[in-house]
Structure 1
Amino acid sequence: MKKTARKLALIGNAGVLLVMCLLMLMEFLLPLDRALFGYNMTQSKSQMPDERIIVVAIDEYTLQELGAFNTWTRDKYATLLDHMYTPETEPAAVGFDILFTSESAPEADAAFAEALERHDGIILPSYANTESEFSRSLEGASDKSLLQPEEWVHPIPMFAEHTDRAHINARLDKDGVIRRTLLQLGQPDDGPMPSLALQMARMAEADVEPFLDMNARDEILIDYNMVSGDFWTVPFVDVYNGNFPAENFDDMLVLVGFTAVGYDTGATTVESEMKLVYVHGNILHQLLQGETIRELHGLWISLISLLMFALMPLVAWRFRTMTGSLLAAGTALALLAAQYASFQWLDWHFNAVEPLVVLLLSYLVNITLKSFLENKQKNFITKQFGRYLSPDLVREIARSDQEIKLGGINKELSILFLDIRGFTTLSEKLPPEQVLDFLNTMFDMITRKALDNKGTIDKFIGDAAMVIFNAPLDVPDHEYRAVRTAWDIQESMKEVRRTIEEKHGITVSVGIGVNTGMVVVGNIGSFLRVDYTAIGDNVNIAARIESNTQPNQILVSEETYERTKGSFVYNCIGERMMKGKSVPVKLYEVVDLKSAQ
């Protein structure tokens, strides 16, 4: 059994390991990890943006007042800038999330260029290649250095010469969600191109170097603390018309971008449709506040997964099913709590999904194997003992934690021997079929009485029977139950005897002997033929006691008498010599029940 269990456990756990390797290689668990990351992010967001950030929004109201965006001329931006700056006040930085990569109306372009020349701290965006090509290059690029896009698109020279530049490329995961940002991108003939948020943070004199030192790729997880409605947002048209005081922009970090429906929207960790200008706002807030989210290295995740892989088979096989299930569930909850706490309080994210799936798969596979083997063992026990025991006792054996040693053990039993007197005469008068029917009726009655008292039918031998008590399961009051079985059989024999006498004129009786003592009990025999039985001197004594009985008499040994004299009325009939014994055995006859036990 143990060898089979080890073999099945080895095969099952090898299967778990193979499945987990496939799941990890194919990234089937990645969506679950991302969902968990998103939940943690949603729960931890502060919704309190840095008070220096202000968004000038091209919203529906602005488009309604100033016309469709594709009809705008760039002198509108010149007016916007002039209403932000005064001789006494000016923003710390103004970052446009709007591309100016091609020329338009000459007079309007010239007006905007002049405004850019007049005012400091303005950033116009560049972008690398197209988004699809950029994403493809991103997936195949090394994480040991800055990403080097092959093609850049910059603002037209008349604008670029008067402004700072920054890239506005969104870093999309394969599922299209913006979870990370590239703070810098490489340029073929120039230094690194900072992101819009990074350049604005630098102009605000924030310490951004710790972010750039996190990895060679200058890539970070975005800590989304705000959703769209959390930022201080002013309609573009209000600033354009001078209805928003310029003093409000003093030393502020101004983002100019779209919030109108249908423009510049992306999926993020905390919002399925966030305007990209607010994505820049979240990154800028993160840089200003120095907030970083770190990821636990994959090696540590693998080690935790291996720990779960090693721990769950022990839990499944060493503990009861309920205890093991509670331990497995507790471990899973502890993993979830640990990853949640590490995110909330330490700003560390670790992929708890892989260890959790390893835990669940490993435990379920091992508990299933254990249940299969236990059921197989129970079926074996039922098959082995179903011929001897009552169904209730068989079920009790199957449920019991008590080990049943089938090879034979020394154990104290009470043994009952029974012989049907008058059977020879009856068999001579009756046809064989009726004799067999009589025996079956008698043995059915004897069996029912024995099983009612938790006895085990050892064997039927012709017109005799042997019943044992206290095996295979312990029966604390086995002496009483053996004598009570004998009494119940004799009481039932009164009706049987009367019926046989009326029908056939023959007197049938039963003699019963009971003894209590140590015997060897177990599956005894050869490889081809095995019986569950008891052997030993005390079995022989019980048989000899039965041979000394008179018709309808119950005799017990002194040992049985001493243990049951409080329950039955006895009559000592003296000592008798037994075959094979050098000293006589004192016998007692059961006369009546003394009291109910």
Structure 2
Amino acid sequence: MKKGVSKSAVIVMGNTLVVLICLVFLVLGLWKVLSDQVFDINMKQSMNGAPHEDILVIGIDTESIKSVGPYPWDRKVYAQMISQLETAGAKVIAFDIELYTDSTKPESDKILAEELAKHKNIIIPSHADLEGDFDRSTTVKAGELIMARNTDQPIPMFQKSVHKAHVNATFDSDGVVRSNWLQIDTPDGVLPTLGLAMAQLAGADVTKYLNLPLLQNRPKSEMLIKWDGKEFNFETIPFSKVLSGSIPPQVFKDRIILIGYTAPGSDEGITPVERHMHLVYAHANILNQILNQKVIVPVSGAITLAMAAFMIALFGFLTWRLKSITSILIVIVVSLGLLALQYFTFAYSNLYLDTIGVVLSGLISYIGNIAMKTYFETKQKNYITKQFGRYISPDLVKEIAKSDSEIQLGGIKRELSLLFLDVSGFTPLSEKLKPEEVVDFLNMMFNLITERTLENRGTIDKFIGDAAMILYNAPLDVPNHAYYAVKTGFEIQEGMEQIRRDVEAKYGVSLSIRVGINTGDVVVGNIGSYLRVDYTAIGDNVNTAARIESNARPNKVWVSESTYELTKDYFEYEFAGEKLMKGKSAPLKLFEVVSVKGAPVEEKKSGKAS
């Protein structure tokens, strides 16, 4: 991001990109594969498995082929079947069988033609020859019937007496049959689909199916199929059993009968409810849908776009207004709620509200905004880390930042080493300097103190005028903290030697620093009120450290007996005497640091020993 570009500008640009991406996906239908999968799940879960009782399938199955003989059969077999069904009182008889050419037995064709001529309720289908492998991905002129180049029709002697229909399956781009063209325009006239022709012949009201609402960017008279039954849900009787007369005639009375292939591997297709369905049952489902007067009506694309826009805005808003855990929980709940809305709308009203594009648009918005929010939070975190690193060791800052556990709120008791220092002679010096020079001098001196403190893993609790309070072993553990405290004080005194000489030579003022160090248990933590909180240490050992500093000799580091015992292996000390401190019943033994003589093992390994 270029310097100077505001946070709000980045958010606006980022969300503009999100909107454009979602718009491209929605308009181009790039969510279609996933939408189709959810549509299939909705269909399968909402099917009632109880087709209309008037529908009966007579299957040309393996048992029938064994009984009647190898396929194709002599056509007088079909004539016998028609005669038996008509005698039994069948309402409609429809063949899902190709009879497009003359057979090798003309006398059998004639027998079938004569039988067909006796009845007015028989359908023998045609097959429309469409350009290319037409599927739902094919571009067609919306609002017009599909136009076939020509049709494969029953032979002329059969055409005279039967009703016409087409048996073209409408395959989606993934090979699944989800819809059907109820009418196809052909050079021989408009052909209804087999299911529609059967319903018309049976006397069903098909008015609304002749004037269906247009599907978006689809040809006129295309209908989404409401799959209400798998193969086993439809009453099916083997062809051979009917032919043999073993089925009571009353079974067929007033029934709408479909005759088609049910043998394995014959005339099968993929449907939302079954991976391998004989397509005679696809016609049965279409017939069932019309008899039950069901129409699946897709919700307007404009509504989908409006919902997507709302979800983009909502999920983007939630990202910035709520904590991450809260926002993601709401996103999940809302997304699942939309999917549930899609299912219940589909199952109970036959409205098809495609929420996949809506949900995914919202998720893209959420991911995009969470990425921007994470970027800004990381940037802010780095800034805070950099600023906080001026007060405590950068290594400690990194540990705090990556730690899984928070620094404990309130006060805790722990052993700390506390360093107090104070500058003597600063008041007369400040009287000789301009205000800006005073500030520059303080900054120079405190830079030295800060650098030495941070290098030795200390935490600067506070600067008070020309004094400072420094903690060791808080907020995180610092092994050998007493050593680091004494080392800091010693290095500050060494660094101040040149500064003292320069100030005395230039201004004639003698500067000195007193350092006092004590080690012991204190209460440390976030202490204060809900309006103002400081991370600091309190307790008797804090006061002791401060009083040691006030009693120390100029330009020297004095430590308490407890600090001495912990660091005597690393520093050369001189006994500074005993002092009776305020609030103490017994005098304290004090020690003055003379020189460095060693370092803890960990310090030697790291190569930091002085």
Shared fold per TM-score greater than 0.5: yes
Partners of 1:223 and 1:283 within 8 A in 2: yes
Taking only the aligned residue pairs, the percentage that are identical comes to: 30
SS of alignment partner, residue 358 of structure 2: helix
Structure 2 residue 103 is the aligned partner of structure 1 residue 82: no
Amino acid at match of 2:11: A
Q: Which residue of 2 aligns with 1:494?
A: 560
SS of alignment partner, residue 538 of structure 2: helix
1:310-329 → structure 2 map (5 Å cutoff): 310-329=313-332
Q: Which residue of 2 aligns with 1:376?
A: 379
Match among 291, 296, 301 for residue 294 of structure 2: 291
Indicate the larger mover: 320-329 or 206-215.
206-215
Shift of 1:355: 1.5
CA distance in 1 between partners of 2:293 and 2:361 (Å) = 35
CA distance in 2 between partners of 1:137 and 1:333 (Å) = 28
Amino acid at match of 1:359: G
1:334-373 → structure 2 map (5 Å cutoff): 334-373=337-376
1:172-321 → structure 2 map (5 Å cutoff): 172-188=171-187, 190=189, 192-215=190-213, 217-321=220-324
User: Taking structure 1 as reference, are residues 465 and 325 closer, same or farther at Cα in structure 2, changes over 3 Å only?
Assistant: farther
Partners of 1:126 and 1:166 within 8 A in 2: yes
Once the two structures are superposed, residues 366-387 of structure 1 have per-residue CA deviations (whole angstroms, 9 ceiling, x without a partner) of: 1122122212211211111213
CA distance in 2 between partners of 1:493 and 1:479 (Å) = 20
Structure 2 residue 417 is the aligned partner of structure 1 residue 418: no
Amino acid at match of 2:34: L
Amino acid at match of 1:20: C
SS of alignment partner, residue 259 of structure 2: strand
Structure 2 residue 90 is the aligned partner of structure 1 residue 33: no
RMSD of aligned Cα (Å): 4.3
Q: Which residue of 2 aligns with 1:23?
A: 25
Number of residue pairs matched by the alignment:
485
Q: Which residue of 1 aligns with 2:55?
A: 53
User: Taking structure 1 as reference, are residues 273 and 453 closer, same or farther at Cα in structure 2, changes over 3 Å only?
Assistant: closer
CA distance in 1 between partners of 2:454 and 2:376 (Å) = 39
CA distance in 2 between partners of 1:442 and 1:99 (Å) = 91
Shift of 1:102: 1.6
CA distance in 2 between partners of 1:375 and 1:137 (Å) = 47
Shift of 1:36: 0.2
Shift of 1:471: 11
Q: Which residue of 2 aligns with 1:109?
A: 109
CA distance in 2 between partners of 1:350 and 1:370 (Å) = 32
Partners of 2:90 and 2:253 within 8 A in 1: yes
Shift of 1:18: 3.8
Partners of 1:453 and 1:484 within 8 A in 2: no
User: Taking structure 1 as reference, are residues 109 and 373 closer, same or farther at Cα in structure 2, changes over 3 Å only?
Assistant: same
SS of alignment partner, residue 128 of structure 1: strand
SS of alignment partner, residue 287 of structure 2: helix
Once the two structures are superposed, residues 190-219 of structure 1 have per-residue CA deviations (whole angstroms, 9 ceiling, x without a partner) of: 3x3211111111122212212333225121
Shift of 1:146: 1.8
Shift of 1:465: 8.4
Partners of 2:527 and 2:536 within 8 A in 1: no
CA distance in 2 between partners of 1:349 and 1:257 (Å) = 31
User: Taking structure 1 as reference, are residues 18 and 443 closer, same or farther at Cα in structure 2, changes over 3 Å only?
Assistant: closer
Once the two structures are superposed, residues 273-317 of structure 1 have per-residue CA deviations (whole angstroms, 9 ceiling, x without a partner) of: 110100001111111011221111221111111112222221111
SS of alignment partner, residue 471 of structure 2: helix
Shift of 1:265: 0.6
Structure 2 residue 74 is the aligned partner of structure 1 residue 73: yes
Partners of 2:61 and 2:261 within 8 A in 1: yes
Partners of 2:420 and 2:545 within 8 A in 1: no
Amino acid at match of 1:161: K
SS of alignment partner, residue 181 of structure 1: strand
User: Taking structure 1 as reference, are residues 169 and 138 closer, same or farther at Cα in structure 2, changes over 3 Å only?
Assistant: farther
Shift of 1:570: 9.4
Indicate the larger mover: 341-350 or 93-102.
341-350
Once the two structures are superposed, residues 203-241 of structure 1 have per-residue CA deviations (whole angstroms, 9 ceiling, x without a partner) of: 222122123332251211101111111111111111222
CA distance in 2 between partners of 1:182 and 1:349 (Å) = 18
TM-score, length basis structure 1 = 0.71
CA distance in 1 between partners of 2:573 and 2:129 (Å) = 115
Shift of 1:330: 1.6
CA distance in 2 between partners of 1:226 and 1:186 (Å) = 29
SS of alignment partner, residue 377 of structure 2: helix
Partners of 2:213 and 2:297 within 8 A in 1: no
Shift of 1:23: 3.4
Structure 1: runs of 5 or more not aligned: 402-414, 422-435, 510-550, 555-567, 572-589, 592-597
Partners of 1:124 and 1:164 within 8 A in 2: yes
SS of alignment partner, residue 336 of structure 1: helix
Q: Which residue of 2 aligns with 1:169?
A: 168
Amino acid at match of 1:162: S
SS of alignment partner, residue 185 of structure 1: strand
Partners of 2:178 and 2:272 within 8 A in 1: yes
Amino acid at match of 1:418: D
Partners of 1:134 and 1:149 within 8 A in 2: no
Shift of 1:444: 5.8
TM-score, length basis structure 2 = 0.69
User: Taking structure 1 as reference, are residues 241 and 396 closer, same or farther at Cα in structure 2, changes over 3 Å only?
Assistant: same
SS of alignment partner, residue 369 of structure 2: helix
SS of alignment partner, residue 142 of structure 1: coil
Q: Which residue of 2 aligns with 1:5?
A: 7
Shift of 1:92: 1.1
SS of alignment partner, residue 166 of structure 1: coil
Once the two structures are superposed, residues 497-541 of structure 1 have per-residue CA deviations (whole angstroms, 9 ceiling, x without a partner) of: 8999xx9997879xxxxxxxxxxxxxxxxxxxxxxxxxxxxxxxx
Once the two structures are superposed, residues 100-127 of structure 1 have per-residue CA deviations (whole angstroms, 9 ceiling, x without a partner) of: 2222221001100111112231011011
Partners of 2:389 and 2:397 within 8 A in 1: no
Partners of 2:135 and 2:172 within 8 A in 1: no
User: Taking structure 1 as reference, are residues 119 and 7 closer, same or farther at Cα in structure 2, changes over 3 Å only?
Assistant: same
Partners of 2:421 and 2:514 within 8 A in 1: yes
1:524-543 → structure 2 map (5 Å cutoff): none
Q: Which residue of 1 aligns with 2:553?
A: none
User: Taking structure 1 as reference, are residues 445 and 487 closer, same or farther at Cα in structure 2, changes over 3 Å only?
Assistant: farther
User: Taking structure 1 as reference, are residues 338 and 464 closer, same or farther at Cα in structure 2, changes over 3 Å only?
Assistant: farther
Partners of 1:453 and 1:481 within 8 A in 2: no
Q: Which residue of 2 aligns with 1:576?
A: none
Q: Which residue of 2 aligns with 1:428?
A: none
Structure 2: runs of 5 or more not aligned: 215-219, 407-418, 426-447, 461-469, 477-487, 497-511, 517-524, 550-557, 589-610
CA distance in 1 between partners of 2:211 and 2:424 (Å) = 98
User: Taking structure 1 as reference, are residues 465 and 299 closer, same or farther at Cα in structure 2, changes over 3 Å only?
Assistant: farther
Q: Which residue of 2 aligns with 1:560?
A: none
CA distance in 2 between partners of 1:466 and 1:338 (Å) = 72
User: Taking structure 1 as reference, are residues 504 and 185 closer, same or farther at Cα in structure 2, changes over 3 Å only?
Assistant: closer
CA distance in 2 between partners of 1:203 and 1:134 (Å) = 30
Amino acid at match of 2:33: P
User: Taking structure 1 as reference, are residues 143 and 553 closer, same or farther at Cα in structure 2, changes over 3 Å only?
Assistant: farther
Q: Which residue of 1 aligns with 2:520?
A: none
User: Taking structure 1 as reference, are residues 215 and 480 closer, same or farther at Cα in structure 2, changes over 3 Å only?
Assistant: closer
Partners of 1:103 and 1:156 within 8 A in 2: yes
SS of alignment partner, residue 133 of structure 1: coil
Structure 2 residue 538 is the aligned partner of structure 1 residue 481: yes
Match among 425, 447, 450 for residue 471 of structure 2: 450
CA distance in 2 between partners of 1:442 and 1:19 (Å) = 48
